[in-house]
Chains A and B, each alone.
Chain A
Amino acid sequence: MECSDTVGKSLAQNLCKKLEHFADAKSIPSNLIFSMDHALAEYLQNLVDHSDAHHANVAFEYDDASLRVIIKDDGKPYDILAHKPVDLRVPFAEREIGGLGIHMIKKMLDHVTYESSNGWNTAVFIKNTRSS
């Protein structure tokens, strides 16, 4: 299933609803959707807040092996895989406030890829059906 939207305030809400409909139609287990819903919402909100993107296209795929979401946007490239990880060993009172969204994406998914070419950025999110 593929869908697209202009990048604006409601982007994350709109496309997470599409994920919900896709999950209902495919009877996808709730633990997979829980993780993918959070990861997708965080990534799309970053696009809205920081990328200057105008368009985002999202494709949802599901089979016995995994749930996959492919997100393409025409904004400024930002490789989330290169982002400095949140250090949970730092005492809570001194913890940096930023970076939690990307931390959640990486922790909640089994595999993430990112590439940028010809003015389009592509992130692929994978949650394996056998993961907890």
Chain B
Amino acid sequence: MTPFKHLASGDNCEIIVDRRIDGETANQLEIELISMEKTAFNTIYINLAACNFICSAGLRVILQYHRKFKMAKRKLLISRLSPEADQILELTGFKESLVESV
């Protein structure tokens, strides 16, 4: 059981992250994405509108599962961003490849 809420719509599912992505939350996010691998959703979005902290462990999880989903011809993308999350994704070079509006 992870602490994240979901919004499913057709082929898509959005994971709402409403807290800091620190080391512990990064582990929970990985568990969440492992469970999403077993679903039929084509695109998984991570909503960071209420997230103001993302550690490198969280970024590594996102990058790793972005690649796994891509190999399975599915997508893992970021949907909404807080200003802080936007800044982190920009300075680490993640934004251009991962951000898409829902």
Contacts and interface: CB of A to CB of B under 8 A. Distances in A.
B22 A104 contact: no
Nearest to A101: B56
A104 B53 contact: no
Interface string A66-92: 000000000000000000001010001
A56 interface: no
A38 interface: yes
B56 A42 contact: yes
A3 interface: no
Contact of B93 (A45, A95, A98): A95
**Contact size range, A:** 20 to 34
Contacts, number: 54
Contact of A101 (B55, B91, B93): B55
**Contact size range, B:** 20 to 34
B57 interface: yes
Interface of B: 22-24, 52-53, 55-57, 59-60, 63-64, 67, 70, 84, 87-88, 91-94, 96-98
Interface of A: 12-13, 34, 37-38, 41-42, 45, 86, 88, 92-93, 95, 97-98, 100-101, 103-104, 107-108
